[in-house]
């Protein structure tokens, strides 16, 4: 099963842990899903494993013995000082991705194409308001990743020594843009070689394909 590492802010990790948030909104998606949703391929992508990296900063998160702990001031971080921030804290199965499009209207206002009920379902399951969704999404296609089969780790995984994950990329993404390592990693549409592979010491700004070394 293919795997990826995705960075999620701690406030959203809390909502994922407590079951409120079941969609993660991204401006891009795995190539398999982009091709399938655009009609380029007809076979539905196979499930993928997503590893969640909880970002640094407030609120602080801990999940011990099935109980969720949160702190906004940083003075308490769960039993024994355990803090999940800055670590890989859970994994889930990606079995479904929805594509939706943001457009600019003739009067300059912004809106989404498609049935209103579908858009409402997307932002409600992502724990966002319509205004937040409009503010985040880019003009054109955006994606709602479904979070299924969540497994929260008893002890979060560290990235510091680079021994857990190696970043990998397929030889061809959807566009032929040159790879710029200084650009926002949310732009995954680049041409690269199949043997590109390196240890991960820091979490991606958005997400990346990975091989798991444990």
pLDDT band at 73 (very low <50, low <70, confident <90, very high): low
Residues 199 and 155: beta-carbon distance below 8 Å? no
Q: What is the mean pLDDT of residues 22-32?
A: 96
Q: What is the pLDDT of residue 122?
A: 97
Residue 54: CA count within 13 A, CB half-sphere: 31
Range 113-136 average pLDDT = 96
Q: Rounded to whole angstroms, what are the CA distances from 41 to 106, 128, 190, 191?
A: 33, 31, 19, 19
Rg, C-alpha atoms of the chain: 18
pLDDT of residue 125: 98
Burial class (CB in 10 A: 0-12, 13-18, 19+), 30: buried
Its pTM stands at 0.86
Query: Looking up tokens 């843009």, which residue turns up?
Result: 177
Length of the chain measured in residues: 214
Question: What pLDDT, in 10s, does the model give residues 76-97?
Answer: 566 666 789 999 999 999 999 9
More confident residue, 54 or 163: 54
CA–CA distances in Å: residue 181 to residues 63, 127, 163, 198: 34, 31, 21, 13
């Amino acid at each position: 099963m293919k795997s990826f590492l995705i960075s999620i802010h701690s406030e959203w990790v809390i909502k994922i842990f407590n079951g409120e948030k079941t969609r993660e909104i991204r401006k891009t998606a795995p190539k398999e899903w982009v091709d399938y949703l655009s009609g380029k391929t007809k076979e539905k992508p196979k499930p993928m494993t997503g590893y969640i990296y909880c970002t640094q900063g407030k609120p602080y998160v801990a999940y011990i013995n099935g109980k969720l702990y949160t702190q906004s001031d940083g003075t308490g971080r769960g039993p024994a000082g355990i803090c999940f921030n800055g670590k890989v804290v859970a994994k889930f199965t990606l079995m479904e991705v929805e594509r939706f499009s943001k457009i600019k209207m003739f009067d300059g206002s912004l809106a989404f194409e498609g049935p209103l009920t579908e858009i409402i379902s997307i932002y409600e399951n992502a724990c966002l308001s319509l205004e937040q969704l409009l503010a985040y999404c880019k003009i054109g296609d955006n994606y709602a990743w479904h979070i299924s089969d969540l497994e929260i780790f008893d002890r979060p995984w560290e990235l510091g020594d680079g021994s857990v994950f190696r970043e990998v990329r397929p030889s061809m993404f959807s566009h032929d843009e040159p790879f710029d390592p200084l650009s926002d990693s949310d732009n995954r549409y680049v041409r690269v070689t199949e043997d590109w592979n390196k240890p991960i010491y820091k979490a991606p700004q958005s997400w990346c394909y990975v091989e798991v070394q444990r």
